[in-house]
Amino acid sequence: MSATLSAPVLPEYLKGRDFLTFLEYSPEELQELLTLAAQLKQLKRNRIPHKLLEGLSVAMYFEKPSNRTRVSFEVGIYDLGAHPFMLRKDEINLGVRETIADTARTLSRYVDCIMIRTFAQKDVEELAQWADVPVINGLTDDYHPCQVLADLLTVQERFGSFKGRKLTYVGDGNNMANSLMLGCAMVGMDVTIASPSGYQPQPAIVEKAQSIAAQSGATVAVSDDVKAAVKDASVVYTDVWASMGQEAEAEARKQVFKAYQVNAENLALALPEAIVLHCLPAHRGEEITAEVLEKHADVIFEQAENRLHAQKAVLAAIVR
């Protein structure tokens, strides 16, 4: 099998693009990234070198701590033949030690791409505005496109197609909910967000996702009824109830979200072949039971692996 695999042809028209929210890409371009991710995964699995970014450099700036994001990006950058550079908050202190514009213009003289994982989406947007190299959003409070690209790859691997499938997200209407709505709408997969009142996704993002879905033939819905939302789902997705920066709210959120748990009772309403996804880290006994997590551990950790392949696809497509 390995003898038939070769490095993919990279789409020239994506070179130099930022990857910030998904909205910078057309549905066709998003599908092209998924196809490229699948190809790169096969090369990695078969230990076939694919140094598509030989000799280039990628800066990785972290204001939020990370396990999956840092390791998957660093390994992926090495796989592609480039050099990763880790930048910590105490070294850069974006927007404080110097302006974001000056940081962007300086880093653009040293590296070929900047990946940033931070709190404010506006900081990522400003960095991209001033940088002369592509900027990748590794996570903000509003969006997590790298994770959702990996999620879509996982769904595609399991079901072959998005059409006629429904993804239900159960939990806080956070960055994951926002990016899942946009990503699912773009590939034509129905998506429902089940969140308690007061914790639902931003209306403007819901409306944007619904507008995209109207073109792709999908539906985007928001509900506070978990059982109705999970019914007939092919994918049931969850995330922690309190994200980074919300630690002071954690105990109060446990009470608000206690009915919004992915457990055997709720999962029984989904389709028999339904899979469970979780972007991790998981808090067993809160947003998901240990029983459900372990039953679906195979696909959840395949999903975690797919961060590597999805991000490599973005890097290979936009850097060079």
- Active-site annotation, residues: 117, 144, 147, 239, 279, 307
Mapping DSSP onto H, E and C, the string for 180-196 reads: HHHHHHHHCCEEEEECC
Identify the CA nearest to 216 among candidates 181, 264, 263: 181
SS3 94: coil
Q: Which residues pair with 221 in a beta bridge?
A: 192
> C-alpha angle 227/233/237, rounded to 5°?
85
Inter-axis angle of helices 27-45 and 297-318, nearest 10: 110
CA–CA separation, 133 and 53 (whole Å)? 14
CA–CA separation, 118 and 96 (whole Å)? 14
Instruction: Judge contact between 113 and 133, C-beta under 8 A.
Output: yes
Which residue is it, tokens 């909205």? Answer: 23
- Measured from the Cβ of residue 188, the count of other Cβ atoms closer than 10 Å reads 19
Instruction: Judge contact between 103 and 94, C-beta under 8 A.
Output: yes
Which residue is it, tokens 């909910």? Answer: 177
Sign of CA dihedral 80, 181, 247, 94: positive
Alpha helices in 217-296 (DSSP H): 226-230, 250-256, 264-267, 290-295
Exposed / middle / buried, residue 154 (Cβ in 10 Å: 0-12, 13-18, 19+): buried
